[in-house]
Homo-oligomer: A and B are copies of this chain.
Amino acid sequence: MPFVRISVYPSTPPSDRKAIADAVYEAMRETIGIPEGDKFIVVTAHPAEELFIDPTFMGMNRTERFILAQIFLSQGRTVEQKQALYKRIAERLHSAIGVSTEDVMIVLTENTYRDWSFGNGEAQFVLNPPAWVRKAAAEN
């Protein structure tokens, strides 16, 4: 149940924008167990006069190929899963479009299984809770 907002600079070609979305989706599939087809991603290009980033904070070398992926997802992932997610997103983006992993920033924001409606005005995970939701509900 992730929804992802990705910010890039306008020099990122359209084919790379699709490759970026695909790479983030595949990395989520591999590391945090999202179901097949759970892909809702928007990539937005912002000119340098609107997207302000520090080029060296935390010892990185950020360039005009900078990618910021803000991922909204349900709570329940361990810190180890999050670390695997960050690593895999960076690896896949490097493989897919040759971007340096130093140009990949990721921010997570969590909600709960109650906070999603995938259509029809229904809360699908409340109506038909999968195993991980039943587990989460039992813990709350």
- Seen from chain A, the residues whose Cβ lies within 8 Å of a Cβ on chain B are 3, 7, 14, 17-18, 21, 25, 35, 37-46, 49-54, 56-60, 62, 68, 70, 72, 79, 82-83, 86-91, 101-111, 114-124, 126
Contact = CB atoms under 8 A, between A and B. Distances in A.
Given A39-B52, A72-B109, A79 B119 contact: no
Contacts of A114: 79, 82, 108
B101 A106 contact: no
Contact of A121 (B18, B43, B104, B116): B104
Nearest to A3: B107
A106 B102 contact: no
Contacts of A107: 3, 72, 111, 115-117
Contact of A105 (B83, B91, B117): B117
Q: How many copies of the chain does the oligomer comprise?
A: 3
A25 B30 CA distance: 36
A43 B37 contact: no
A26 to B, nearest CB: 12
Contacts of A122: 83, 86-87
